[in-house]
Amino acid sequence: MRILLIATAAISLGGACIDGHARNDQKGGQPSGAFLPGTFDSTKLINWTVRTGNAYYMRDSGDAIYLYINVVSGDVKQEKPRTPLNVSLVLDRSGSMAGEKIEYARKAARFLVDQLNDKDYLSIVNYDDLVEVTSASQPIKNKEYLRKRIDEITDRGSTNLSGGMLEGYTQVKSTKKDGYVNRVLLLTDGLANTGVVDPQELKRIVQTKYLEEGVALSTFGLGADYNEDLLTLLAETGRANYYFIDSADKIPALFARELKGLLNVVAQNAVVQLELPQGVKCEKVYGYPFEEKDGKLQIRFNDIYAKDEKAILIKLIRPKTATETLNFTCKLQYTDANQLKDMKEEKSVAIKQTGNAGLYREGEDKLVQEMLALFESTEEFDVIMAKVDDGDYERAKSEAAISLQKLESKSRHYNSARLEEQKVKMKEYVKRIDSVQTMQVEDRKMYQKSNKSANYEVKKQKKF
C-alpha cells in the first residue's frame, strides 16, 4: 500500500503526533492470522482474503453459515502528494461547553487548520439552538484569519445537533471533488434537544448523505451527558469513526488521531460485493451496515488508511432443502488514492454439503470461529451494558454469567488471546456492577461510556 508523504514536520499536541512521513504506530497492517504463511505481501496496496466458517454444511440442518473477509493494506512508501481533504468541522457551542471544553475545542480546531495545506478545503460550523457558518468551505490560504474566527466561538444556547450536522454536509457538498476525502467531523457534549432529535431519523439522514453524496461522518462525544449510543450509530452509518472523550484536554489528541488517518488515505470508495447462491439470505454483518438486493450483498467501508485492517464477518441463512455445493463470488472494489485508478478484484469460495458429522467437525475454520465468538461476545456485552443503563442489574449479571461461560469455553478451545482479553474485560465489568449502582450519576455515565467505547473498538478491530 502506498504511504502518501506529507511535506510537513512532525507536530506534537496533547500526546498526539502527526508525522510528515505518515508514521503509523498502530499494529494495523499486520494480518491477524487471516492470511496463510507466505501469502501476505506487504508491498501491495491491498491484501485480502475470504474464508468460510466451515468447508461443509450439514444436510437437513438449518444452521447458519459464515464468511469472513479480511482486508489489510500494506506499506509501500512512495513520494507522492497525499490525497487532499474536504472537511467540515462542526462544533457544539451550547451552554454546557463553557469553560475548558470550548477552550480545548478551539485548540483542536486551530490544530486542524495548522495541519492542512492550500490543496485542502475546510469549513467550520458552530451550533447551539442556532447554526452559524464560522468559515465557509474554501481552500486553506489564510490560516491566521481562520484562527481568529475560531477564537470568536464561545458557548451559549441549546443543542441543535441535526442542524449543525446538516450544515456540515452542505459545506462539504459545496466543494466536493473527485479524488478528495470528504468528511464531516461532529463534536458534541450534550443531548440533541432541538431540531431533529429522533435517532432513527438522524440515522436516515446520515445514511442518505453517505450513499447519495459520498460524504462520511465521524463523531466525537465529550463528557458524561451526550448520547453515546446515538453517536456510535451515526458514525457506523456514516462509515467513519466514533470517539469517546472523557476529559476536555484530550480533545486535541483525538482530533489528531482522526486526522492522522485522513492524511494517510490510500484507497477510497471501498466496497465488498458478495454474490449469494439462490435462496441464501444475509442475516447480519458484524460491525458494518449492509445492503442486500437481487441476490447481491454489499458492504461499504469507505476509506482505507495506511496500514489499516477491515474485518468483516457475514452471517448467512440458507434453505434447509439445499442439496448442492454453495458457491460464493466475492468482489473488492476501491479507488487507488495514489494513482486515482479504479481497482476490482475477485475471489471465490465454496461450501460443500455433507451428512458426515466427523467431516463437518474437521472442516471447521478455527480463525473464523474465533472471530465469530469474539463478535458475538461484543454484542452480548452491549446488551449487558444496556441492562445496566436500564437499572436491571440482576438481569445484567445473569446474562453476563452465560456470556462469560461461553467465552471461557471458546477461549480454551481456540487457545485465543483475543477471547481471553475480552473475557478479562467482561469479568472486570461484572465485578463492578454492584458498585455501579451506588455511583454518582455522572460517574456512572462516564463509566458506561468508557466501557462501551472499548467494546466498540473491539467490534471494529481498531488497533490504535
Q: At what angle do helices 366-389 and 441-459 cross, to 10 degrees?
A: 160
Long-range contacts of 402-406 (CB under 8 A, 24+ apart): 403/377, 404/430, 406/373, 406/376, 406/377
Question: Which pLDDT does position 76 carry in this prediction?
Answer: 59
Identify the DSSP state of 54: B
**CATH number of the domain that residue 32 is part of:** 2.60.40.1510
Question: In terms of domains, do 224 and 103 share one?
Answer: yes
Spatial separation of the C-alpha atoms in residues 167 and 133, rounded to whole Å: 8
Question: In terms of domains, do 433 and 295 share one?
Answer: no
- Domain edge (last residue) among 362, 382, 406: 362
Question: In terms of domains, do 33 and 131 share one?
Answer: no
Question: In terms of domains, do 294 and 275 share one?
Answer: yes
CB 414 within 8 A of CB 370: yes
**Quick one: residue 279, left, alpha or beta (phi over 0 = left, psi -120 to 50 = alpha)?**
left
Question: Which pLDDT does position 323 carry in this prediction?
Answer: 73
Q: Is residue 31 situated within a structural domain?
A: yes
Question: In terms of domains, do 159 and 301 share one?
Answer: no
Question: Which pLDDT does position 44 carry in this prediction?
Answer: 85
Question: In terms of domains, do 144 and 203 share one?
Answer: yes
Question: In terms of domains, do 107 and 238 share one?
Answer: yes
Return the C-alpha cell found at 327.
458457491
Domain containing 108 equals 85-262
Question: Which pLDDT does position 77 carry in this prediction?
Answer: 64
Question: In terms of domains, do 378 and 436 share one?
Answer: yes
- Domains contained in the chain, number: 3
Amino acid at 46: I
Question: In terms of domains, do 353 and 372 share one?
Answer: no
Question: Which pLDDT does position 357 carry in this prediction?
Answer: 93
Question: In terms of domains, do 160 and 302 share one?
Answer: no
Q: Is residue 391 situated within a structural domain?
A: yes
Question: Which pLDDT does position 296 carry in this prediction?
Answer: 96
Question: In terms of domains, do 201 and 306 share one?
Answer: no
Q: Is residue 52 situated within a structural domain?
A: yes
**CATH number of the domain that residue 232 is part of:** 3.40.50.410
Question: In terms of domains, do 311 and 199 share one?
Answer: no
Q: Is residue 377 situated within a structural domain?
A: yes
Q: Is residue 140 situated within a structural domain?
A: yes
Q: Is residue 291 situated within a structural domain?
A: yes
Question: Which pLDDT does position 2 carry in this prediction?
Answer: 27
- Domain edge (last residue) among 321, 336, 362: 362
Average pLDDT by stretches of 10, the chain with 464 residues: 27 36 38 71 88 93 93 73 94 94 95 95 96 97 96 92 97 94 96 92 96 96 95 96 95 94 93 95 94 95 91 92 88 92 96 94 96 97 97 96 96 94 96 94 96 94 60
Return the C-alpha cell found at 280.
441464501
- Domain edge (last residue) among 362, 383, 417: 362
What are the beta bridge partners of residue 291? 298
Q: Is residue 346 situated within a structural domain?
A: yes
Question: Which pLDDT does position 25 carry in this prediction?
Answer: 36
CA 244 to mean position of chain CA atoms = 13
CB 26 within 8 A of CB 15: no
Question: Which pLDDT does position 12 carry in this prediction?
Answer: 35
**Cα angle for residues 42, 44, 217 (degrees, 5° grid):** 100
Spatial separation of the C-alpha atoms in residues 57 and 61, rounded to whole Å: 8
Q: Is residue 464 situated within a structural domain?
A: no
> pLDDT for 89-124, tens place per residue?
999 999 999 999 999 999 999 999 999 999 999 999
Return the C-alpha cell found at 343.
481497482
